[in-house]
Amino acid sequence: MLISAVFTTLANAVGLLLAWLLLPNFSIDFISFVIVVLLFTAITVVAGPLLTKMSLKNLPALQGGVALVTVFVGLVITNLILPGLTIGGISNLLAATLLVWLGSLIAAIVLPMYLFKETLEKHKAK
């Protein structure tokens, strides 16, 4: 469980960093970056299951987009709570939602393979 939390946090850090680097007016204070990542991760970890449950009950069509909605909600709430994150408008919010989701998704797939490369190689050798 701890390893999963670390990978989720690292994946979210990659996604937020991607949005920070690629979007104009999307900024995260350097000093606040760790706090923004931790709060964003906490919000998405809590909001994800809630949004999934709501979509199963009320909006089955939303099921496929729950991860995107979770990232959107996480960005909005983090932006409201922390002054260290500035999204810079609705277009940046929508673009950041896609970038953070995509960056987090790719990092969640690649990071474990990279960090546990030796373990995977030993397993393949058997």
pLDDT digits (tens, 9 = 90+) for 6-31: 889 999 999 999 999 999 999 999 88
Q: Which residues, at least 6 apart from 99, have a Cβ–Cβ distance to it below 8 Å?
A: 15, 18, 19, 22, 23
pLDDT digits (tens, 9 = 90+) for 44-89: 999 988 888 888 888 777 777 889 999 999 999 999 999 999 999 9
Domain tally for the chain? 1
pLDDT digits (tens, 9 = 90+) for 88-106: 999 999 999 999 999 999 9
Look at 23 and 121; give whichever has higher pLDDT: 23
Q: Which domain holds residue 32?
A: 2-125
Q: Report which DSSP code applies to 62.
A: G
pTM score, two decimals? Answer: 0.84
Query: What pLDDT, on a 0 to 100 scale, did the predictor assign at position 64?
Result: 74
Q: Which residues of 22-39 are buried (b: 16+ CB within 10 A; e: fewer)?
A: ebeebbbeeeebebbbeb
